[in-house]
Copies of this chain bind each other. A is one copy, B any other.
């Protein structure tokens, strides 16, 4: 099968509007009569809230509404549990007036002891973030997941060696440029709420606003605007319910935009973790048992999905005996969200570091160690059974493209020493609720409609899919991200699911539309639908001349009706996205300064609908991994964030990025459109451990805590005199 539209490199269709400033973001919106809201945020990370004096604020010029406690959805009640928690909301004619009034609001607190990190939060003497009993002897447990396979006791009994390590990952910001922004408008006459917002999941926002305002979902319209970066940070409703409540009270449209400082204090950052792994292995390197206790820091109000991490911690390895206990732990920090791959980078940093440690301890090549244990077709895996042996292919591809065999030995130049490291990544493909409409217009052009927020260029891929299905140029296809009133329901834009699930819905909706068109044409021509084919933008009856789509549609709509293809799905055949990366670093053994020189990324993508976009996702995902390894970290002191800005929370710049080598492995999946899989998250998973392993390779120092800042590496180099 030769494709004409899918499988070709196509710049994002929304790219030109973005780079020429024509794209409208939520903060750009100006509505007639619009007023501005500001949230008053708590300074103490943990305190009893005694009172809030709002009298002065209410009398200040331009102030229209001041809400506290139960008056406003999401405002603290009785206690504050993290620095930056909203305690009051103000709406005023101008933003300056709202800010002035917010400053005039003085909450009174009694400080409470701060629960700073998960290691201490679980202890019996720890203060409680929320009231409630301990669980499994641990305090402050928010949620818990167990994964069990085989018999770990027997596994460890059969092991020749047991390796136990503890790994730690930091809290990090997702690094999107656009702060959270929402505009809400209440139509009192019709009892309907409209919310324009920057979100990855407009239907989740609808549910949250409907619940908060006690409205049926059918009366809440959420219009997902263009998103200036999300990466998992805009997956949960944040400002929308309070903006909506203010708009309803003021009977004026209300705009609420976070400042950069608020973005750091009170968004949904990626939470940190402490991951304790005990791994049993035979002399040969064969893994026989893994026991893990995973502590995910979920912040003050929960958010981490411990089940995902528990399922992923074995990585792409066959480990017959497994016992994983994963806990979400409350601390006095904001509610944790995801960054690209929910908990994937956390647990892979642990397992991929430990595999490397074991390989070195047993004198095995880390590549050989991985290949010896990598899962193959038929092996059990969380959520199903491995449907193929792609992880091995992907690991081999990464090694081959990186020249693993020839570059194994560290080379030095003065204080600078080079090292090479590898890591693999394991991610499951989920479709989740997905739907699409496909309209064949009266001139034969195609309009695709979904309710999926277009973050990573998926709309461009949808256009390619529809163009392929009808045999049309992409220029004759438009894709619209409809709002929650007009678009079909969709789960959020996360978990690399949009192209996989919604893309398949688009493909099926195209086939549905083609079926209708064939029926309409057959009806008119006195044929059976199966005698009609649609390809190359034409309709053709068996033996007849091809007729352009537009000509057929112009008539069909009048005797058959509008052609409205539709598809809906929630599940697709089980698929795994595998990735593997080889990092090459140069470390200065005097200063701990290190540089990523080259990153080889191999990834099983099923089928690359748009290879340009896939490569972009791989580089973007790896970039997050680089930041995770190199420099990104929320620095807390007693629950107070010391670096709430992009100056002090440093993300990698273009100078920190290496030369990329990308290898796409295309073996079509059963479920995704044309065999495609989701590609955005797998590439962020192995980057940090590959770098950590490369640093070890270079200087013989193992850093089990991210990020591996030069300072931290310098300290380690000094502590371990044996380091090369």
Q: What size tier do the contact residues of chain A reach?
A: 35 or more
CA distance A437 to B488 in the complex (A): 9
Q: Is the CB of A476 within 8 A of B216?
A: yes
Q: Is the CB of B568 within 8 A of A561?
A: yes
Residue among A190, A210, A490 with max Cβ neighbours from chain B (10 Å): A190
Taking CB atoms, residues of chain B closer than 8 Å to A393 are none
Q: Is the CB of A434 within 8 A of B485?
A: no
What residue of chain B has the Cβ atom nearest to residue A185's Cβ? B22
Residue among A189, A475, A477 with max Cβ neighbours from chain B (10 Å): A189
In addition to A17-B189, A432-B558, 9 A-B residue pairs with Cβ atoms within 8 Å of each other are: A207-B442, A216-B445, A217-B445, A218-B441, A218-B445, A219-B445, A482-B486, A488-B562, A561-B569
Taking CB atoms, residues of chain B closer than 8 Å to A478 are 192, 216, 218-219, 485
Taking CB atoms, residues of chain B closer than 8 Å to A437 are 437, 488, 564, 566
What residue of chain B has the Cβ atom nearest to residue A190's Cβ? B17
CA distance A477 to B190 in the complex (A): 12
Taking CB atoms, residues of chain B closer than 8 Å to A125 are none
Residue of B192, B210, B433, B485 touching A557 (CB-CB under 8 A): B433
**Interface check A415, CB cutoff 8 A:** no
What residue of chain B has the Cβ atom nearest to residue A203's Cβ? B442
Q: With both chains docked as a complex, state the minimum distance between the C-beta of A41 and any C-beta of chain B, in angstroms.
A: 31
**Interface check A176, CB cutoff 8 A:** no
**Interface check A164, CB cutoff 8 A:** no
Q: With both chains docked as a complex, state the minimum distance between the C-beta of A305 and any C-beta of chain B, in angstroms.
A: 15
What residue of chain B has the Cβ atom nearest to residue A14's Cβ? B190
Q: Is the CB of A562 within 8 A of B485?
A: no
**A190-B14, A486-B480 known; A568-B562 Cβ under 8 A:** yes
Residue of B32, B449, B477 touching A30 (CB-CB under 8 A): B32
Taking CB atoms, residues of chain B closer than 8 Å to A439 are 488-489
Q: 28 interchain pairs (CB within 8 A)? A: A16-B190, A17-B187, A20-B189, A22-B188, A22-B189, A210-B443, A216-B475, A216-B476, A217-B442, A217-B443, A217-B445, A218-B441, A218-B476, A218-B478, A219-B445, A219-B478, A432-B558, A434-B561, A435-B562, A437-B488, A437-B564, A439-B488, A447-B484, A447-B485, A449-B485, A478-B485, A489-B557, A564-B568
What residue of chain B has the Cβ atom nearest to residue A484's Cβ? B447
**Interface check A161, CB cutoff 8 A:** no
CA distance A190 to B15 in the complex (A): 8
Taking CB atoms, residues of chain B closer than 8 Å to A434 are 561-562
Mark contacts of A514-529 with chain B using CB atoms, 8 A cut-off: 1 yes-contact digit, 0 otherwise.
0010000000000000
Taking CB atoms, residues of chain B closer than 8 Å to A162 are none
**A216-B476, A478-B485 known; A558-B441 Cβ under 8 A:** no
CA distance A454 to B486 in the complex (A): 15
Q: With both chains docked as a complex, state the minimum distance between the C-beta of A275 and any C-beta of chain B, in angstroms.
A: 29
**Interface check A429, CB cutoff 8 A:** no
Copies of this chain present in the complex amount to: 2
Q: Is the CB of B562 within 8 A of A490?
A: yes
Mark contacts of A6-31 with chain B using CB atoms, 8 A cut-off: 1 yes-contact digit, 0 otherwise.
00000001101111101000000010
Taking CB atoms, residues of chain B closer than 8 Å to A569 are 561
**Interface check A66, CB cutoff 8 A:** no
Q: With both chains docked as a complex, state the minimum distance between the C-beta of A357 and any C-beta of chain B, in angstroms.
A: 40
**Interface check A570, CB cutoff 8 A:** yes
- Residues from 159 to 218 in A contacting B, C-beta threshold 8 Å: 187-190, 192, 203, 206-207, 210, 216-218
- Residues from 468 to 482 in A contacting B, C-beta threshold 8 Å: 475-478, 480, 482
**Interface check A714, CB cutoff 8 A:** no
**Interface check A153, CB cutoff 8 A:** no
What residue of chain B has the Cβ atom nearest to residue A501's Cβ? B561
**Interface check A446, CB cutoff 8 A:** yes
Mark contacts of A423-464 with chain B using CB atoms, 8 A cut-off: 1 yes-contact digit, 0 otherwise.
000000000111101010111011101000000000000000
CA distance A568 to B433 in the complex (A): 24
**Interface check A559, CB cutoff 8 A:** yes
**Interface check A404, CB cutoff 8 A:** no
Taking CB atoms, residues of chain B closer than 8 Å to A559 are 570-571
CA distance A218 to B557 in the complex (A): 16
Mark contacts of A41-65 with chain B using CB atoms, 8 A cut-off: 1 yes-contact digit, 0 otherwise.
0000000000000000000000000
- Residues from 487 to 513 in A contacting B, C-beta threshold 8 Å: 487-490
Q: With both chains docked as a complex, state the minimum distance between the C-beta of A484 and any C-beta of chain B, in angstroms.
A: 8
Taking CB atoms, residues of chain B closer than 8 Å to A482 are 482, 485-486
Q: With both chains docked as a complex, state the minimum distance between the C-beta of A466 and any C-beta of chain B, in angstroms.
A: 10
What residue of chain B has the Cβ atom nearest to residue A559's Cβ? B570
Q: Is the CB of A433 within 8 A of B218?
A: no
CA distance A125 to B216 in the complex (A): 69
Q: Is the CB of A218 within 8 A of B446?
A: yes
Residue among A30, A188, A490, A561 with max Cβ neighbours from chain B (10 Å): A561
Q: With both chains docked as a complex, state the minimum distance between the C-beta of A119 and any C-beta of chain B, in angstroms.
A: 35
Q: With both chains docked as a complex, state the minimum distance between the C-beta of A404 and any C-beta of chain B, in angstroms.
A: 42
Taking CB atoms, residues of chain B closer than 8 Å to A562 are 433-435, 488-490, 568, 570
Taking CB atoms, residues of chain B closer than 8 Å to A446 are 218
**Interface check A660, CB cutoff 8 A:** no
CA distance A32 to B21 in the complex (A): 13
Q: Is the CB of B190 within 8 A of A435?
A: no
**Interface check A563, CB cutoff 8 A:** yes
Q: Is the CB of A560 within 8 A of B566?
A: no
Taking CB atoms, residues of chain B closer than 8 Å to A216 are 441, 443, 445, 475-476, 478
What residue of chain B has the Cβ atom nearest to residue A435's Cβ? B562
What residue of chain B has the Cβ atom nearest to residue A553's Cβ? B489
**A17-B189, A217-B442, A447-B218 known; A480-B476 Cβ under 8 A:** no
Q: Is the CB of B557 within 8 A of A189?
A: no
Taking CB atoms, residues of chain B closer than 8 Å to A488 are 437, 439, 562, 564
CA distance A203 to B439 in the complex (A): 12
**A446-B218, A480-B485, A482-B486 known; A564-B561 Cβ under 8 A:** no
CA distance A439 to B450 in the complex (A): 13
Residue among A17, A206, A485 with max Cβ neighbours from chain B (10 Å): A485
CA distance A478 to B191 in the complex (A): 11
**A216-B445, A443-B210, A445-B216 known; A564-B192 Cβ under 8 A:** no
